[in-house]
Amino acid sequence: MPVICWFRRDLRLADHRALHAAVAASAGEVIPVFIFDDAILHDGYVGAALTGVTLAMLTALDHDLRQLGSRLIVRHGQPLAELQALVRETQASGVYWNRDYLPYAIKRDTAVKLWLRQAGLQAHSFHDSVLVEPEGLKTKGQQKPYLVFGSYVKRWSELAYAQAEQLVPAPTKLVPPDADLSSLPIPSLADLGFELQQTLPTLGEAAAQQRLSQFFDRRRSLSVLKYDDARELPAEAGTSQLSVDLRMGSISIRQCLQRAVDLLTEPLSAEQRQGVDTWIKELAWRDYYTQLIYHNPQMLKQSLDPRYDQIEWRNDPAEFSAWQQGQTGYPIVDAGQRQLNQMAWMHNRVRMISASFLVKDLLIDWRWGERYFMQQLCDADPTANNGGWQWAAGSSGPSAQPYFRIFNPIAQSKKHDPHGTYIRRFVPELANVPNRYIHEPWTMPQTLQEHLGCVIGRDYPAPLVDHGFARERALAAYREALQQPAEE
DNA sequence: CGATAGTTGAC
DNA sequence: TCAACTATC
């Protein structure tokens, strides 16, 4: 009897636990299914870039399945109803899937599991998309979920490393679904009501494997061995570029960790070892935020520390618009926002600078920024994005980013883009501005501005706000909100 | 309980 | 040094 393998954010064949188990249970008679869900597609957070990524990944998955003699069955509707129809049509004995930990997904999957059990069918869900599941790691004494990353990560490694030793292979052959089992064509973006200007990277499992190999290629000048320093430089390609693959599951998180752990067994300098360790820590952040939101689902809508929702945000629409378009007058912020608008991706260091600027300098509610990033980023992931924004706002509990630590966009720019390479790449108006002025072009003498054809206020915006002033304003607003006890 | 520490900072 | 607080063991 066939079984259904329900693909969601795990669009690959290698080290896919639900697929592996489904193949074993059915002797390869697996119905691979993806269901477009309007509740997700039109929730106001999902943008053209993430949707485009999903479509490309599905096309690649279908292609890869066909290499094994099978094909992807695509449906569109309410997941429960669609699965019920598919079970009827295929006489499947059950449904297999990898677990997802967001509130909507939990509710959806629980309903599916309940129906399957009541119908006497198999319901099998798997630990797959994270290294350590949210219930898998609690504090020692009280068995409570962790709030502090440092404490979490101390005990995370051992559990995570054990997972990295348990990879399962991709199937080598699959029984094709019945020829008359209907499948929708993979839609175009326009079909789904989206329009995408940006060019996306090459996507799919093969592309993901290539990105992983490149990042771990010791011969390349910017491999994981240089990650500790190189990740801070937005002008360099010093990051793994795997965020989109980890978002859609075109690569297995266990395989990522396995590569890193393998590399650590080789002789490495202290600096190289630090690069690998730091990257592994980034994988831990992913699990940390997953469990934080799993145990505190309200933080998707509110600050984890409710006092931060008492901040009197200014929420100026014109300033928000200027930030979105990369017209704040702060070159590093504008470069970041324009990179986002041009590439549907932004370097992580600049995400932090830009987020801090929106929240602290402009005093705009972090949720506005969170939503815009979700709509624009090709790697948009509710968990990582919410975690990152709450961190920038300082609002996620016992934060190591206290509210009085306010990023200075000029100092950050000098430190992480010292030659202005990144700025000039995305802000062409500033291409001819000398290094001395590139981080704060409004300090250029008037004659130089005119000589360069880069007059502040005409060719490039004057700063939206003075950082020194904005810093004091933010400190006052935060102090005021935090002094008051939290309202219910 | 008391001791210790808190992603990536700024002034 | 910044301000004090809280999570964790």
Q: How far apart are CA A24 and CA A169, in angstroms?
A: 12
Give the dihedral sign, CA A438/A442/A443/A445: positive
Report the pLDDT value the prediction gives residue A483, as an integer from 0 to 100. Answer: 83
> CA at A354, C1' at C1: how many angstroms apart?
27
Confidence of residue A402 (pLDDT cuts 50, 70, 90): confident
Q: CB-based contacts of A343: which residues, under 8 Å, 6+ apart?
A: A198, A199, A378
pLDDT in tens, A311-339: 999 999 999 999 999 999 999 999 999 99
| Architecture of domain A306-483 in this structure | Orthogonal Bundle (1.10)
> CA at A359, C1' at C5: how many angstroms apart?
22
Nucleotide nearest to A150 (CA to C1'): B6
Q: Is the CB of A156 under 7 A from strand B?
A: no
Q: Is the CB of A471 under 7 A from strand B?
A: yes
C6 nearest neighbour residue (CA to C1'): A398
Average pLDDT over residues A219-224: 96
C8 nearest neighbour residue (CA to C1'): A151
Report the pLDDT value the prediction gives residue A404, as an integer from 0 to 100. Answer: 87
Do the annotations mark residue A241 as ligand-binding?
yes
pLDDT in tens, A334-384: 999 999 999 999 999 999 999 999 999 999 999 999 999 999 999 999 999
Report the pLDDT value the prediction gives residue A487, as an integer from 0 to 100. Answer: 63
Q: Is the CB of A400 under 7 A from strand B?
A: yes
Do the annotations mark residue A283 as ligand-binding?
yes
Confidence of residue A286 (pLDDT cuts 50, 70, 90): very high
Q: Is the CB of A402 under 7 A from strand C?
A: yes
- The residues of A annotated with a catalytic role in the active site are 282, 285, 313, 348, 366, 389
Q: pLDDT averaged over chain A?
A: 96
Report the pLDDT value the prediction gives residue A40, as an integer from 0 to 100. Answer: 97
Average pLDDT over residues A133-158: 95
Q: Is the CB of A150 under 7 A from strand B?
A: yes
> CA at A134, C1' at C7: how many angstroms apart?
18
Q: How far apart are CA A176 and CA A69, in angstroms?
A: 6
> CA at A294, C1' at C8: how many angstroms apart?
20
Q: Is the CB of A139 under 7 A from strand C?
A: yes
Would you state the structure tokens that stand for residue A213, as one six-digit string?
């190999």
Q: Taking Cα atoms as reference points, which of A137, A131, A133, A138 lies closest to residue A160?
A: A131
Average pLDDT over residues A271-289: 97
> CA at A93, C1' at B11: how many angstroms apart?
66
Q: Rounded to 10 degrees, what is the CA torsion of A127, A132, A133, A137?
A: 140
CATH number (3.40.50.720, 3.40.50.300, 3.40.50.2300, 3.40.50.620) of A3-128 reads 3.40.50.620
- pLDDT-wise least confident of A239-248, A293-302, A390-399, A473-482: A390-399
pTM of the model: 0.97
Do the annotations mark residue A380 as ligand-binding?
yes
Q: Is the CB of A468 under 7 A from strand B?
A: yes
CATH number (3.40.1280.10, 1.25.40.80, 3.40.50.300, 3.40.50.11060) of A130-167+204-295 reads 1.25.40.80
Q: Is the CB of A398 under 7 A from strand B?
A: yes
Do the annotations mark residue A188 as ligand-binding?
no
* Alpha helix positions (H), A394-445: 409-416, 421-426, 435-438
Nucleotide nearest to A231 (CA to C1'): B8
Q: Is the CB of A401 under 7 A from strand B?
A: yes
Domain positions in chain A are 3-128, 130-167+204-295, 306-483
Which pairs with CB-CB distance under 8 Å and at least 24 residues apart come from A474-480?
A474/A360, A474/A361, A474/A363, A474/A403, A474/A406, A475/A403, A475/A404, A475/A406, A477/A311, A477/A312, A477/A313, A477/A363, A478/A311, A478/A394, A478/A403, A478/A404, A479/A403, A480/A311, A480/A312
A130-167+204-295 and A306-483 share one fold: no
Quick one: what percent of chain A has pLDDT higher than 90?
A: 96
Report the pLDDT value the prediction gives residue A486, as an integer from 0 to 100. Answer: 72
Nucleotide nearest to A349 (CA to C1'): B8
Nucleotide nearest to A398 (CA to C1'): C6
Q: Is the CB of A285 under 7 A from strand B?
A: yes
Do the annotations mark residue A240 as ligand-binding?
yes
pLDDT in tens, A235-245: 999 999 999 99
Do the annotations mark residue A289 as ligand-binding?
yes
C2 nearest neighbour residue (CA to C1'): A404
Amino acid at A224: V
Average pLDDT over residues A83-104: 98
Report the pLDDT value the prediction gives residue A484, as an integer from 0 to 100. Answer: 77
Confidence of residue A396 (pLDDT cuts 50, 70, 90): confident
Nucleotide nearest to A147 (CA to C1'): C7
Nucleotide nearest to A415 (CA to C1'): B9
Q: Rounded to 10 degrees, what is the CA torsion of A71, A72, A76, A82?
A: 90
Rounded-to-5 percentages of helix, strand, coil across chain A:
55, 5, 40
Average pLDDT over residues A302-306: 93
> CA at A266, C1' at C4: how many angstroms apart?
45
Q: CB-based contacts of A318: which residues, under 8 Å, 6+ apart?
A: none
Report the pLDDT value the prediction gives residue A312, as an integer from 0 to 100. Answer: 94
Average pLDDT over residues A256-278: 97
Do the annotations mark residue A260 as ligand-binding?
no
> CA at A142, C1' at B1: how many angstroms apart?
15
> CA at A138, C1' at C8: how many angstroms apart?
11
Report the pLDDT value the prediction gives residue A28, as an integer from 0 to 100. Answer: 97
pLDDT in tens, A178-201: 999 999 999 999 999 999 999 999
pLDDT in tens, A435-445: 999 999 999 99
Q: How far apart are CA A189 and CA A247, in angstroms?
A: 19
Average pLDDT over residues A112-124: 98
Q: Is the CB of A397 under 7 A from strand C?
A: yes
Q: Parallel, antiparallel, or unpaired: how do β-strands A30-36 and A73-76 relate?
A: parallel
* Alpha helix positions (H), A119-239: 149-163, 205-215, 227-230
Residue labelled with tokens 């929730």: A43
